[in-house]
Amino acid sequence: MDEENSAQKRVVVLAMDGSTEAESALQWFSKNIYRKDDEVLVIHCLHHTANHAMGCTEHMTMGVLFSSFQSLNLQAIEKAFQKETNDAVKLCSQLEELLKKYEIEGKVIRVQGDPGHKIVTTAEECKASLIVLGSRGLGAVRRTILGSVSDYILHHATVPVLVYRG
């Protein structure tokens, strides 16, 4: 009997970045899909980016960016990386509270790297049955230039993917 139950147990990966869209997806999941015997893994991906760490913005020109490289302040970079790490730890704690709020038994996993790739590979490692995430609704041009985590996951995941757009 136990083998029968474990064979039917679903592993559901929820990709969460702290956005309202991600919380909406979690709420929808809790009301419409969640079963008490699901193994729920909330994945938050910390993605350190050099441009954020150096104080650059997406509006900087290559000349300004090049001059930023010439005057690298390694302490500022280290401080920015540490702040991003601390923020991720804090967010993971908030995600644990959200699981309680929506009465979902699960655990939060923090990974590091490119979000789309890490979510897909972590889901594969955990033998996930389903990946759920919220859509942030980037426009077509912005998605083409910046990429889209949900788009990457849709094209690379080996299990069904539910992208919630509320």
Give the mean pLDDT of 151-163.
93
Residue 106 lies in a domain: yes
Containing 154, the helix (H) or strand (E) segment is helix 149-156
Residue 101's CATH number: 3.40.50.620
137-148 pLDDT, tens digit per residue, is: 655 554 444 458
**What's the pLDDT score for residue 165?**
86
**What's the pLDDT score for residue 149?**
87
Residue 153 lies in a domain: no
How would DSSP label each residue in 83-103? HHHHHHHHHHHHHHHHHHHTT
Residue 43 lies in a domain: yes
Residue 148 lies in a domain: no
Residue 127 lies in a domain: yes
What separation in angstroms does the CA of 86 have from each of 31, 74, 82, 89, 143?
31, 18, 6, 5, 28
d(CA 75, CA 52): 14
Containing 12, the helix (H) or strand (E) segment is strand 11-15
44-97 pLDDT, tens digit per residue, is: 998 876 444 444 444 444 444 445 555 567 778 788 888 888 999 999 999 999
1-35 pLDDT, tens digit per residue, is: 455 455 568 999 999 999 899 999 999 999 999 99
Q: What residue numbers bound the domain in which 114 lies?
A: 13-53+72-135
Residue 114 lies in a domain: yes
Residue 163 lies in a domain: no
Q: Which residue has the tokens 């302490």?
A: 75
Q: What is the total count of domains within the chain?
A: 1
